[in-house]
Structure 1
Amino acid sequence: MKYYFCLFFISFSLFSQSNFEKGEKLFVQKKYKEAKVYFNNNLEEHPSDLKTLEYLGDIAGIYKEWDEAIECYENIKKQKPQNANYHYKYGGALGMKAKESNKFAALGMIDDVENSFLTAVKLDKTHIDSRWALVMFYIEIPAIIGGSEKKAQVYSNELMQLSKVDGYLSKGYIDVYFKRYKNAEKNYLNAHKIGNSQITFEKLYDLYLNKLNEKTKANQLKENFNKKIG
């Protein structure tokens, strides 16, 4: 009797889960298309639910459906204009659309991308992702429309204050972009000594293997890291 009661309880529990809870569970399992169905159902019942809109924006971003992602993030940042992460996500989706657009269309988006990241930085003095976004933004766009290593270094320095690993990684990223590979090695080594993570390993390994052509160092790094995680 207890066995059947347990089965009934479990079945009832699953049945009673909300559309949002079902969608969130599937999202965590990386079953994004299935999750989207439940999130859309929840949105019909709760059209302004911020978390549902954010999940739908995230799913759209995963599938590179930038217009849909932009619409979701724009909606939530308008509802919560003091939330740094919403501005960051909006700027990120807009930036990715700009990258995939023709030059003239992209030019019309640049200011909004920059302003979104700058707003996120102002709203949250500890927001790491928006500072990373600005480092990459100022390095990758041409100087004639606002690109600047000096500006990128400002936010790299802020990252250094918030997280030494991110600070060194961002400086290494800038050095690699400008082909200052020996300087990049120093920064990536510092990042790896502190973080000793998959990300710091991959950055340093790629530098040795594909930029400095130092296969011996690359192999030694890989061997040591595999021992650490093995």
Structure 2
Amino acid sequence: MKGEKLFKEGKFDEAQPLLENYLKTNSNHLRTLEYLGDIASQNKYWDKSLIYYKKLEKLKPTEANYYYKYGGALAMKSLGVNKIKALGMIGEVRSSFEKAIELNPKHVEARWALIELNLQLPAIVGGSESKAIKYSSELREISPVDGYLSLGHINEYFNRYAEAEVQYKRAILIGGSKICYQALADFYKNKMKQPEKANIVWEEYKNKSNKGIK
């Protein structure tokens, strides 16, 4: 299918009309619905993406990613509405991510989303550092790198910079990926206001990459 090929190449504007046309005669085609939902999300058309993801949930209620994507789109929509309306969406956002984890106990992205949700929300509407730490601990069991990165993020959020630095360094030690180095470099540059340390981190990453280590 040409629309699918264009989507995978990142040519979303070209893929969209072809996918929409295909959907006219294949209204329950899961991949096409998901591609169109993803394109709508990419373009920040949250209402449109929610329609596609909700249909996917109904067609295949055992697929964790559909609930994760629905929760993510709903969370993004909530940022653009008034506070009272946004608060009314939070329960469904949370339950969507929790459903993704229920269906796929090893779902990494849903736990990251719940960590962020618990950090950003005030306690009065369900925000909780202890819940964020709980999901971080679960991440560490599934993916130690994500566990350390998420705990670093939590500590950074609460301005516990010494502990955040420790966790980011642990992530580098066991993961060594660009994402790990990026987290530490951004932390030094944006929070510690130490761009020279950020540069050192990137130099270390480049040296390892050049040696073929990562």
Scaled by the length of structure 2, what TM-score is found?
0.95
Structure 2 residue corresponding to 1:71, chosen from 48, 51, 55: 51
Aligned pair 1:162/2:142, yes or no?
A: yes
Counterparts of 2:161 and 2:80 in 1: how far apart (Å)? 29
Distance 2:134 2:112 in 1: 11
- Structure 1 position 133 matched with structure 2 position 113: yes
Match of 1:37 in 2: 17
Q: Could you tell me how far 1:157 is from its partner in structure 2? A: 0.5
**Partners of 1:73 and 1:216 in 2: how far apart?**
44
Q: In percent, how many aligned pairs have the same letter?
A: 48
The structural deviation recorded for 1:215 is: 3.4
Distance 2:47 2:178 in 1: 32
Q: 2:62 and 2:9 mapped to 1: Cα distance?
A: 30
Q: 4+ residue runs of structure 1 moved beyond 6 angstroms?
A: none
Q: Please name the residue that 1:10 is paired with.
A: none
Pick aligned residue for 2:177 from 173, 182, 197: 197
Query: Is 1:46 aligned with 2:26?
Result: yes
Unaligned runs of 5+ in 2: none
One-letter code aligned to 2:176: N
Instruction: After TM superposition, list the pairs within 5 Å mapping 1:216-227 onto structure 2.
Output: 216-227=196-207
Distance 1:188 1:83 in 2: 32
Distance 2:13 2:195 in 1: 42
- Taking the aligned partners of 2:159 and 2:3, their CA distance within structure 1 comes to 44
2: distance between equivalents of 1:110 and 1:171? Answer: 23
2:68 corresponds to:
88
Q: Larger C-alpha radius of gyration, 1 or 2?
A: 1
Correspondence for 1:13: none
Secondary structure of the residue that 1:48 maps to in structure 2? coil
Provide the rounded CA distance (Å) in 2 between the counterparts of 1:215 and 1:86.
Answer: 40
Could you tell me how far apart the structure 2 residues matched to 1:122 and 1:132 are? 15
The aligned amino acid for 2:187 is: L
SS of the equivalent of 2:54 reads helix
Distance across 2 between alignment mates of 1:107 and 1:221: 40
Which residue matches 2:37? 57
Q: What does 1:102-113 align with in structure 2 at a 5 Å threshold?
A: 102-113=82-93
How far 1:226 sits from its partner (Å)?
Answer: 1.4
Q: What number of residue pairs does the alignment pair up? A: 210
Q: CA deviation at 1:176?
A: 1.1
Distance 1:100 1:76 in 2: 24
Which residue in 1 is equivalent to 2:152? 172
Tell me how far 1:214 sits from its aligned partner: 2.9
Q: Supply the RMSD in Å over aligned alpha carbons.
A: 1.0
Correspondence for 1:5:
none
Q: Output the CA distance in 1 between the equivalents of 2:95 and 2:25.
A: 33
Task: Report the alpha carbon displacement of residue 50 of structure 1 after superposing the two structures with TM.
Answer: 1.0
What is the distance in 2 between the residues matched to 1:175 and 1:210? 14
Q: Deviations over 1:107-146 (max 9, x none)?
A: 1111100110111111111111111111111111111100
Shift of 1:76: 0.3
* Cα separation, 2, equivalents of 1:145 and 1:118: 17
Question: Partner amino acid for 1:169?
Answer: L
Task: Give, as a single letter, the amino acid of the residue that structure 2 aligns with 1:203.
Answer: A
